Amino acid sequence: MGNSQSSSLNYNARSIRRRRSVPILSGISLGCASAHSSVFSCDSSQEISHFSLGIDEKHKKYRDCSSEDHPSSQATLRSSNVAYVPAADSLGAGAATGYEQFLRDYPQYRLTWIVDSLRRSDYRRLSRLGETYVDYMGGSLYPESLIRVHTEFLSENILGNTHSVSNSSRLSQRSADEAREAILLFFKAPPEYTVVFTPNASGALKLVGESYPFTGGSNYVLCSDSHNSVHGIREFASRRSAQVVYIPSTHHGGFDANHAKTLLLRNRPRAKDAAPCLFALTGLSNITNSKTPLSIVEYASSLGYHTLLDAAALAATSPISLIETPVDAMAVSFYKMFGFPTGVGALVVKKSFLKQLKRPWFAGGTVDVVQVPGHVVTRSREIYEQFEDGTINYLTLPAVTDGLRFLSAYLPFLPMRLWCLTDFAVKALSRLRHESTGIPVVRILSRRPTNRVSAIGEQSETGSTISLIFSFPTGEMIPNSFVEYAASKKSISLRTGCMCNPGGAAAILGIEDHMEQLYPGVTLKDFEDVVGRELGVVRISLGLGSNFQDVWDVIQFASIMACEQSRNPLWDSWTEASGIGQAI
């Protein structure tokens, strides 16, 4: 027999579901628990009690906060009220002067004061520990209140394995149901969608890859500027004799829309019942900073493709509506969105699409009846259960619900705020020159911010990632491994490398020809030997907790790289530590 409940018990379990709670304010009771703001009625003393009441009561408390308290409505009302400028007093001396000029150049940034307030309350640890965190693309930072509330909930409640009907199991089941509903609500998913919990976005992409009914005559169309977890699907496609078709990246990442349309048209399914074709697209590139215009989904669907959106990078800072972008399936990781929990992602997917997927195996949790020995297998009744192998990560799912509500409260501000910070950083970094030679200190390789974002609700055409390489006064590249070392010495968390996006990296580094020459068994070291330098970029990525000080710190760091006197001691200690190179 399988591991799921009998059908009558299933009925009971479902009957305790409560209706979807209104998400508008729930995040505020977390995020503004101790914010320096008087506009919110939910304070930190209420915070813990909300959660110790149990799920329904906890969320009733959320609903009790009136919608007038929503930060977006407050910001709109106060858009001309400069009393709400972000606090300059918390900035270092140099940054405070730079901040004044920044606010003159980007006056709209003032409208995002609520996020500065959040930074002071929920990301206090950054200033306490003196760390500049600019690796949001690697993982967002969790708000401290989310952790407090979640640990309190765990301490006050008893949660058991969902594959049972005890009180403790039902609470876990209810937490899972709530998380599913919160996810659907967050992405504005119409009723035809459901949620499959996965370990991460890669797990969600793999579920589609391994189950998609590729066959001879099928095409798997994807963009070069994609994460390896999207490229990896080609292994499933090729094994079943499907053709893999790449849409090339432009030199700045992303793709040319007309070229993409031509390739999609040329490789479309031949007839309604012909071999199925899958189009995978990346919402936001994690290295080139390119956003894919999601209108291409409509075009691909009209040609008969199934569409799979990798939203792992996009979802953290850009609202996604599955009403407007009705992809067949979308992959996300929650730690990328609000930092906690790791180990949980989701495939948000149309039920009709799930029905067309064929799982290569079954496991505990996915089946109702298994004949042993024998061949008979009856899959679980709920379609999403058929795709959730074993026990879901039930202990962390309440934090997914809360994290989504939290992010909902702040997400409206992020596109404009991050556009301002990214645009400022790109311009300031581009201006830096080596005094002795006039050579630029950095070369920005990723897409620069394009359309000016001036109002809350406007979206940016690019993300908040800056991929760059540093140069010596001679113009020669400063090794990324040294930059990473020096950054960590200066308490800056950034990332270097190709970011699991070889196509995007090759495009912006201009090494696509070398990439073509790769052979089976090649190592990264071999590849670097051929190109003649370290491969990869230095990546600065901003997100939910970013503020002006972070950007300022990065610019100061770049100035250190520009100055021989400050760079050389770091270089010497790096060469000593790593046993390579000579002081330059």
Using CB under 6 A, list all residues that contact ligand PLP: 200-202, 227, 229, 282, 286, 310, 312-313, 333
Smallest separation, CB 525 to ligand PLP (Å)? 23
Q: How far is the CB of 314 from ligand PLP (least distance, A)?
A: 8
Q: What is the dihedral of CA 73, 77, 80, 82, to 10 degrees?
A: -70
Query: Cβ 111 to ligand PLP, closest distance in Å?
Result: 28
> What CA–CA distances, in Å, run from 247 to 221, 263, 484?
7, 7, 32
Query: Residue 220: which of 294, 307, 284, 283 has the closest Cα?
Result: 307
Q: Which is nearer to ligand PLP, 317 or 471 (CB)?
A: 317
CB of 227 to ligand PLP, least distance (A): 3
Q: How far is the CB of 535 from ligand PLP (least distance, A)?
A: 18
Prior bond of 373 cis (ω within 30°):
yes
Dihedral over Cα of 337, 19, 15, 382: its sign = negative
Nearer to ligand PLP, 332 or 453 (CB): 332
Tokens linked to 220: 């798997």
CB of 228 to ligand PLP, least distance (A): 8
In the bound state with ligand PLP, the residue whose beta carbon lies nearer, of 98 and 503, is: 503
Which C-beta is closer to ligand PLP: that of 136 or that of 413? 136
Q: Which is nearer to ligand PLP, 220 or 482 (CB)?
A: 220
E strand or H helix at 11, and its extent? helix 7-15
Give the residue with the Cβ less far from ligand PLP, 75 or 247.
247
Nearer to ligand PLP, 495 or 567 (CB): 495
Q: At 417, which amino acid appears? A: R
On whether the CB atoms of residues 331 and 205 are closer than 8 A, the answer is yes
Between 316 and 456, CB nearer to ligand PLP: 316
**Cα gap 419→106, rounded to integer Å:** 10
Residue 403 beta carbon to ligand PLP: minimum distance, rounded to whole angstroms: 15
The three state secondary structure string of 300-318 is HHHCCCEEEEECCCHHHCC
φ, ψ of residue 103 in degrees (nearest 5): -70, -30
Distance CA 3, CA 1 (A): 7
Rounded least distance, CB 541 to ligand PLP, Å: 10
Residue-by-residue DSSP string for 79-101: TT-GGGPPPSTTS-HHHHHHHHH
E strands, 311-446, in order = 329-333, 345-350, 367-370, 377-379, 442-444
